[in-house]
A and B are shown apart, each in its own frame.
Chain A
Amino acid sequence: MTAQHALVVKDLRTHFTVAAGDVKAVDGVSFTLDRGKTLGVVGESGSGKTVLSRSVMGLNIASNSKTTGSVVYEGKELVGMSPKEMKHLWGTEMAMVFQDPMTSLNPVVKVGRQLTEHVRIHLDVSKTEARALGVELLRSVRIPEADERFDVYPHEMSGGMRQRVCIAMALACSPEMLFADEPTTALDVTVQHQILNLLNTQQRDRNMAMILVTHDLGVVAGRADEIAVMYAGKVVEKAPTKTLFKEMHHPYTQALLWSIPKTAQPKHTRLSAIAGRPPDLINPPSGCSFSPRCPYARPICREEEPVLISGVGDDHSYACHHPVGSPAGQEAFDKNLEEGLPQTLVAAGRIQATEDLPTTWED
C-alpha cells in the first residue's frame, strides 16, 4: 500500500520495573492501522492489551514504565514524546473510552462540564456554544432528554448511559483515532450490544481509526476489520477478521474461540476453559509462552520461540510451530493425545480443565 497509514506501530515494548524484575507487558508488537478501519485487539486478562493501547497513546502514567520501539501517527514519532507534547494530541487527535463507566466520570462534576471542558479549552469556544455542542453530542449517542441530562451528575445515570457519555466525551473534539479499552466489559449484556453498535456507527460516520480492545472474540467478530490476538505481551496471530474466523492457525486463538458459549450448542454443554494460567510476565516460559497450556505443544515449542510469519502476499500472520489446521498441527495434537498431555485431553473434551492443571513438562 502506498498511501500513508494513520498509525504505524513497530516493535513496541512497554516494560514495568518492579522489585522482582521487569514485567514485559508489551513485548515487541507491530501493526498498522488506516483511517476508517478498526483493529480488534483480543486476549485474556494480563495479555498486555490494555497496556498496548495506553502505550500507543502515550498514556502510561506509571513512573516505573518504559516504552521503546516506534509509534508513528500521521508521520509523527510519538515514542519519546513528553506528556506535555502528547497532551496536544490527547482529546483532539486521539481519544480513549475506558473500561468502567462507573469510575471514569468524576462524581462531583456535572456531566455537561465533563463532556465539554476539553472542547472549550482545545477549540476555544464559548460556554453557550459548548453547551449546544454538548447537548448535540448527547443526542448523537442517543441519550434521551439530552438538554436535561447535560446538567445532572454522573450518579444520576445508569451504567450504559454513563458509557454513552464517555463515548460522547471522547468524540467531543472529533479525534482521528479512538481507543476503546474493553468498553462493554462492565456493562449488562443487553447494553453491551447497543454500546458496541454505537461505537461502530460513530467510527464509520466519522471515518475514525479505532482500536477496540477486548477479551471477547465475539465482540470484535462483526466489528473489526482486522484482529490481533495477544498473548503474554506479544501478538501471536493477526489477520483480517473474516480470514481469522475462517481459518485460525494459532492454538490460543482457537482456545479463545472455544471458550465463548454458543447458542447453537446443546444445553448443558461444558464450556471449554483454557487450561492453566496466563504466564508470568517477569519470567515468561522459554520458547513459545503459550506452550505450557497448549494442546499442540511439542518439545520444540519449549526450546524455540516461533516468530510471527505470514505467507507471501498474505495478510494472515501467526507465530506457531504446529499451526491449527496444518498437518504439523494435527500430528502434534495426535501425539500429545496419545501421550496423555493434560491440556490436550482437555481440548479433546476427555477431561475437565482446571487452573492448576499440571502439564507433563513441569518437573
Chain B
Amino acid sequence: MSSADQTPPSLYAKREPIFPRRVKGSFRTMKWWLLFLMLGIYYVIPWIRWDRGPDMPDQAVLLDLANRRFFFFMIEIWPHEFYFVAGLLIMAGIGLFLFTSALGRVWCGYACPQTVWTDLFIQVERWIEGDRNARLRLHRKPWDFEKIRKYGLKWTVWFLIGVATGGAWGFYFADAPTLFVDLFTGQAHFIAYMTVLILTMTTFLFGGFFREQICIYACPWPRIQAAMMDEDTLTIDYRHWRGEPRGKLKKGQLDPNQGDCIDCMACVNVCPMGIDIRNGQQMECITCGLCIDACDEVMDRIGKPRGLIGYMALSDQEAEQAGKPQKSVWKHIFRPRTVLYTTLWAGIGIALIVALFIRADLDMSVAPVRNPTHVVLSDGTVRNVYDIRLRNMHNEPRQFELSITENPDLSLSIEGEPGTQVTVGADEQTLLRVYLTAPPGTTSNTADTSPVRIWASIASSTERVYSDTVFNGRNQ
C-alpha cells in the first residue's frame, strides 16, 4: 500500500491508561513479600538506634552531611574514606550486571522503587475502585459524585503515601525523632520541607500517573539492560510453539488442532505495562512475572500443563521446539560471564571488608608548607613547617603523640603546645602547625632534602600511623 492515500498518524499520542487485573500466584505472592520487605526496610531503618557513646549520634544509619560523617551501625565513614562508598557503588553496579546477565530485567520487575511504589499505588486503586472492569467503567463514566469521591479518596491516599515516602527520606540525613517532631512543629529547615515536598510529588506523580511511562521514556537502565542480556539470559516469554494457533474454547473443549492458548487475554489484562507477552520479549516488559501467574491459573483450569508463559532463555527455545528438554536453571545461571561478575563482585566486597577491619581509627595527613621551603633561625638552625591534620575517629577524646623516625638530626615541636602531645576530641579532627628543626652542623641542616617519617600514636593504645615526607635543608 502506498502512503499517498493515507493521512499520516499524529506525531503525538495520548497515553492509553492501563488497568491491571488482580492476579494470584507464586510470583504475585513473592512480589508482595518483597514489597513489604523493601518498604519495611526503607521506613524502619532510620528509627533504629545504636549507642556510640555520649558525644556521637545514636542513629544506626545516618548520612550526616553537615558534619561529613556516614554512620552505618558499628561502621563510621569519614570523608577521606569515601572510597568505601565508591566501592559499594561499584558493587551495586556489578551486582546489577550479574543479575541482568543471569535473570534479565529482574531489577525492574521486583526491586525497582518505581515498580514497588506503582504496585502499591495500583493496590490502593483496587481497594477503592475495585478490580479492572470496575475501574474501566469508572474511568469511562462522566464525572459524578461517585467518581469524584473515589478519585478524591484514591488521590488522597496516594498523596499520603507520597508524604510518608518523602518524609522518610529526610530521616536518613538527620536525627529521625528530632526531625520528625521538627517537621510537624514547623521548626525543620526549609531544605527539609522542600525535600519532603519534591519527593512527595515525584512519588505521587510517578506512582499514580506516570507509572509505566517512567520505564519506557525516562529510565536509561532498561535500554542498558537490553544490551547486557544474551541468549542464555533467563527472561519471560511465551511458548508460541505450544500456544499457537490460539483459539477460544468451543463448548468448554479445546479443538485438537489448536494450540494451548485460548486467547483469554488474562496475560494482557494483568500486565502493568499494558503489553501482550505473546508478541515475544519487548522493550516495555519489566519481567514482573504477573502474566506467568495469570496464565498458569488458566492452564490449571483447562487442564493443561503450566508454563505456556514462563522464564526461559533464547537458547532454550529452539531446543524445546525440537522436542528436547530445557536446560536447567542452574546451567543458565552458572556461566563464565556470571561467574566472572560474581568473582569481581565478591572480590571488591572482601577487599572492602578487609579494609574496614584493618583500618586504624586514627588518621594523619601531612602537608609540608613550601612557602618558603625552609627558614634559617638566628643560631643557624634550619626549620621546616608542616600542616598536620590529626583525625580521631573514635567515640572518646584521645591524646595523640607525634614523633619522628628515620632521621636522628631532627627534632619536632608543635606551635602553641609545650610538648609533642595534643588531645583531639571525640570524633573530631585538628590542624596543627608542626616544626621540624635541624641544628647547625647536622647533615639535614645543609643537605638538599633528607627523608623523614612522622608518626602519630595514641598513648592509651598500640595504634599508630605514619606519613613519609622530606625535610629541606638550607641548600635547597
Instruction: Indicate whether A and B interact.
Output: no
Interface residues of B (CB under 8 A from A): none
